[in-house]
Structure 1
Amino acid sequence: MRYIAIILFAFACSNPSEKFAFHGEEISSENAISVEEFLAQVGEENANFKVRATIEEVCQMKGCWMTIMNESDINIRVTFKDYGFFVPKDVSGSEVIIEGIAKEEILDEDVARHYAEDGGQEYDESMRNSITFVAKGVLIKES
């Protein structure tokens, strides 16, 4: 009987109201770090990360990339492994968990211009400074 009570207590303490839709590989929400922690750890070499963030913008052509918000105003662009999946175009402002590899880099001017065009923005040279995150899986919090 004690074991049943412990199991029921464990389920009651979990957060069932937090529901996510997944895209790409199925990942968990466990051990995701904040954007600020991510920014402190990312470098010029590819490294694996799992990050909890808020979606800032999504490609309005296909949903083939998104950016995530951060207080440092750094361009963090998320693309999807092997161009194998996309996200809905109407999820800006949603909470997201992404898992994959990331690194700091300077984008080719043509690529930066392409992203600006897909996002409906004017190209600016500062858009070339970027953190590229290639996600193998994405969880988007359902409201």
Structure 2
Amino acid sequence: MKKILILGVALLAFIGCKDGKNNEKSTVDTTDVKATELAYASFGEKIEADKALSITEINNIYDGLKTGDTLDVKFAAKINSVCANKGCWMRLDAGDEKEVMVKFKDYGFFMPLDAKGEVVVNGKAFVQETSVDELKHYAEDAGKSEEEIAKITEPKKTLSFIADGVLLKN
């Protein structure tokens, strides 16, 4: 019985000493993390908003890509449209009347149907030729009229992006 009592007292003394050492203030600044969490809704893999390329920089990258080239990048842009059926793709404004078609890695996540405003996307940028059938499908998903869909008669070079993570500005 004495051994258990002595062991208990020693354990309490050890815990008491340990807690006394941890009463120092933490020097870790969490304000940036909290600010990021409040400023953005996150979809897919966790990413940070810092070091995102501008529209000018991403345009320069796309200008240098050929069909079949792929490059890992992160950039910020304004949403032009989102798939009205389930949020499975979005189109981002790339300036100069260009758009980047964004799909989501392995259909692992979707965007809110009413998403608008600024986003930061992380993933793979590439250029592809989109078929007439696929262009018509996207136009239907976007809620375009029958007349607008009928005007689609040629394949189009598309600035494409597979996002593994997205931050939607609140």
**So what's the TM-score if we normalise by structure 1?**
0.83
SS in 2 for 1:96: strand
Alignment partners' CA distance in 1, 2:54 and 2:155: 23
The size of the alignment, in residue pairs, is 135
Q: Percent identity?
A: 33
Counterpart of 1:87 (choices 111, 124, 148) is 111
Query: 1:125, CA displacement in angstroms?
Result: 4.5
Residue number in structure 1 paired with 2:167: 139
Query: 1:80, CA displacement in angstroms?
Result: 0.1
* Structure 2: gaps of 5 or more residues: 1-24
What is the letter of the counterpart of residue 130 of structure 2? Answer: L
Counterpart of 1:41 (choices 47, 56, 61) is 61
Does the 8 A contact of 1:64 with 1:87 survive in 2? yes
Residue number in structure 2 paired with 1:23: 43
1:60 has 2:88 as partner? no
For residues 34-64 of structure 1, the C-alpha deviation after alignment (integer angstroms, 9 at most, x for no partner) is 1221010121201011011111100000000
Alignment partners' CA distance in 1, 2:40 and 2:74: 15
Residue number in structure 2 paired with 1:72: 96
Alignment partners' CA distance in 2, 1:68 and 1:24: 17
Alignment partners' CA distance in 1, 2:28 and 2:91: 39
Does the 8 A contact of 1:74 with 1:130 survive in 2? no
Select the structure with the greater relative contact order (CA < 8 A; seq sep ≥ 6): 1
Does the 8 A contact of 1:101 with 1:134 survive in 2? yes
Higher helix share: 2
* Structure 1: gaps of 5 or more residues: none
Query: 1:16, CA displacement in angstroms?
Result: 2.9
Does the 8 A contact of 1:26 with 1:137 survive in 2? yes
Computed over aligned residues only, the root mean square deviation of the Cα atoms, in angstroms, reads 2.4
What is the letter of the counterpart of residue 117 of structure 1? Answer: E
Distance 1:52 1:126, change over 3 A: farther
Higher strand share: 1
Query: 1:129, CA displacement in angstroms?
Result: 2.3
Alignment partners' CA distance in 1, 2:119 and 2:100: 13
What is the letter of the counterpart of residue 39 of structure 1? Answer: N
**So what's the TM-score if we normalise by structure 2?**
0.71
